[in-house]
Amino acid sequence: MALLCTRILHEAPQLLRVALWTSAVAAASLGATLLLGAGWLAEQVRGDELARVTAEVAPFAGAMLLVAAAVAVAGLRIRPLAIAGVALAPIALVLGLQPVLAATGESRSARQVATAIRDAGLAAAEIVTIGNYPPSLSYYLERTVLVATDDGKAIRSNYIEEYVRDLAARSGSPLRPADWWQSRLEQCPEPTVFVVERRSREAAEHLGERLPVIGEPGRYTAYGPCQPTVP
């Protein structure tokens, strides 16, 4: 933004005033929304931790944007502040909302459930995800996990969705039918951990009746391990 403002200042100085007013209005509007509507914004967010961070950070980010708007207005009269007036708004937004961005990434990550599985000494157990596939789970556990799905939508790949049956039929494929996990739970040929997303309440309730929760429940919760049946 600073480079863009510098170019405008040298090549089209008449547009600088428009850029400053645009920056001031946008920053002031968004800043007021964040400052005065922090509670409402937090209510729209899914996840308790993310909502808490949003409620705490939004007023601070809003105040920073209002300062940026004031600098932009000052830049209309004080030329040295012109570049800062345009550049400060996006910088304030990114810095002010950094904790929210970090919390958003954490809420979508499987690091918490992977850590719980490792801490329980179950990293070597078979891992089955039910109706969902958090990609970072394989990354943190450094291994392949099985995915119980009929349509492949949990993997968020158009290619896999289209050829899910063919891919599932291949030898060594990690794809399993959507209800396969139930027979796995009943027969349990080897220690198995089941990972389910919070919104899959029916599966979570069924697993909760049979297996203990591993670690703290979050967006993804692990249950297990089931133990092999001794004949």
- Give the per-residue pLDDT at 223: 92
pTM higher than 0.75, yes or no?
A: no
In a domain, 205, yes or no: yes
Please say which residue of 52, 87, 107 terminates a domain.
107
Q: Do 219 and 115 have their domain in common?
A: yes
Asked if pLDDT for residue 113 goes beyond 80, the answer is yes
Q: Do 132 and 88 have their domain in common?
A: no
Domain of 161 in residue numbering reads as 111-226
Domains of the chain: total: 2
Residues of the chain with pLDDT > 70, as a percent, come to 82
Q: What is the pLDDT of residues 6-21, one digit of tens each?
A: 565 566 666 667 777 7
- Give the per-residue pLDDT at 229: 66
Q: Do 89 and 175 have their domain in common?
A: no
Per-residue H/E/C for the chain: CHHHHHHHHHHCHHHHHHHHHHHHHHHHHHHHHHHHCHHHHHHCCCCHHHHHHHHHHHHHHHHHHHHHHHHHHHCCCCHHHHHHHHHHHHHHHHHHCHHHHHHHHHHHCCHHHHHHHHHCCCCCCEEEEECCCCHHHHHHHCCCCEEECCCCHHHCCHHHHHCHHHHHHCCCCCEECCCHHHHHHHHCCCCEEEEEECCCHHHHHHHHHHCCEECCCCCEEEEEEECCCCC
Q: What is the pLDDT of residues 26-49, one digit of tens each?
A: 778 877 887 787 777 777 766 666
In a domain, 42, yes or no: yes
Q: Do 217 and 141 have their domain in common?
A: yes
Q: Do 176 and 200 have their domain in common?
A: yes
